Amino acid sequence: MDDIKDVSVEPLTSSQFVKPYRMHYKQNNVEKIWDLVSLHESVSIIIFNTDRKKLVLVKQFRPAVYYGAIPREERKLGSTDTSKYPGSAGLTLELCAGIVDKTKDLALTAKEEVLEECGYEAPLESFEKVLKYRSGVGVSGDQQTMFYVEVTDKMKVSQGGGLADEGEMIEVVEMSIPEVRQYLNQSDVNSPGGLLFGLMWFLNNKAPKE
């Protein structure tokens, strides 16, 4: 998964996923501008396997995280030296998540992502909404809705790993509650704030007493 080669970066002129804009506005009669990016709405899911008392998470290569790991002064257009900056710098641990595109139904999107990425077929009514929040505030203000779902081994119907025809390459990672606590105690993690909040929410609200 971290065997990344032939990396090159170019300016973005059009994209179906990301749209950059400059907003002009007045705040208290002071004229201002802000450069922002419009993104799709998304869902994320805290998945707990009650048979094995494990959280089900996903590991994947994130190009933006890889790019962010390159020191600013060395980021340039054109090719990137992957022997100096190996693909492992872009591997993240996250909640299962996905863009809301096929349907506008957030819980249904969550259900589909749990199946595609993690291989669990969980009933729609078992998805509990945790909260809706802004996954970014500086450059993108996109909304992400977090769900919680409990699964059992019986619901595991496939390997997961993402949609091969969309080129998704996802590793399913299961973590026990002590492992989750250890993960949260580190000083530097390759994870978004949403995962960290989701794990804390789980420990505070759902984790079985140890």
Ligand X SMILES: Nc1ncnc2c1ncn2[C@@H]1O[C@H](COP(=O)(O)OP(=O)(O)O[C@H]2O[C@H](CO)[C@@H](O)[C@H](O)[C@H]2O)[C@@H](O)[C@H]1O
> Which secondary structure element, helix H or strand E, spans residue 199, and what is its range?
helix 193-205
Supply the minimum distance, in Å, between the C-beta of residue 113 and ligand X. 7
Residue 42 interacting with ligand X (CB under 6 A): yes
Supply the minimum distance, in Å, between the C-beta of residue 118 and ligand X. 12
Q: Where are the beta strands (DSSP E) in the chain?
A: 8-9, 19-27, 30-38, 42-49, 54-61, 78-79, 91-94, 96-99, 128-134, 143-151, 170-176
From 20-28, 39-47, 121-129, 145-153, span contacting ligand X (CB under 6 A): 39-47
User: Within 10 A of 43 (CB to CB), how many other CB atoms are there?
Assistant: 28
Residue 66 interacting with ligand X (CB under 6 A): no
CA distance 105 to 185: 35
Residue 97 interacting with ligand X (CB under 6 A): yes
User: Are the C-beta atoms of residues 168 and 162 closer than 8 Å to each other?
Assistant: yes
Residue 37 interacting with ligand X (CB under 6 A): no
- Binding pattern for the stretch 122-161 against ligand X, x by CB under 6 A and - elsewhere: -------------x--------------------------
Q: Where are the beta strands (DSSP E) in 50-135?
A: 54-61, 78-79, 91-94, 96-99, 128-134
- Identify the bridge partners of residue 160 per DSSP, sorted by sequence position: none
Q: Which of 118, 155, 172, 194 binds ligand X (CB under 6 A)?
A: 194
Q: Which of 44, 145, 190, 191 binds ligand X (CB under 6 A)?
A: 44
- Binding residues (CB under 6 A) for ligand X: these are 17-18, 39, 42, 44, 94, 97-99, 135, 166-168, 192, 194
